Structure 1
Amino acid sequence: MHKRIRLKDNDKRINPNGGAIALGHPLGASGTRIIQTAALELQQKNKKYALITMCIGVGQGYATIIKRV
């Protein structure tokens, strides 16, 4: 997708860890893994917010914003 919207491979807006498929996709646990990865990235990069999007099947999904405190 990032090629389609003409982002470079090193664009800071691209998740360097990949998504659910790159992390593994165990049924019922992939959302937790994505949130944990985002929380670790916030801590390591000293950032304040992360936007997380997840599929919940049958064409549905949700987005969550987390804040490092």
Structure 2
Amino acid sequence: MTDIVIVAAARTAVGKFGGTLANTPAPELGAAVIQALLQRSGLSGEQVSEVILGQVLTAGSGQNAARQAIIKSGLPQAVPGFTINKVCGSGLKAVM
């Protein structure tokens, strides 16, 4: 049996609605989080087996923001990912 572990966690900055992050697409924020996690954990992109991102407001982000973030972050394109949309519970559900 393969052990599944969480080696690091991060989140985007918290801003007010319509504030300074309003013009930054969610996949770009997700890519920044992925890059920061790789740096903090010391893992290479080849060691990542899956990406699960929680996103509160998905409208206007296009399809599967997690997949877009994977591609923008430089992870190998073979890494799968999916986006959870459970409004305020998205981040917690992503960890579960």
Common topology (TM > 0.5): no
- What range is the shorter-chain TM-score in? 0.3 to 0.5
Question: Which protein is richer in helix relative to its size?
Answer: 2
Larger RCO of the pair (alpha carbons < 8 Å, separation 6+): 2
Question: Which protein is richer in strand relative to its size?
Answer: 1
Query: What TM-score, normalized by structure 2, do the two folds share?
Result: 0.35
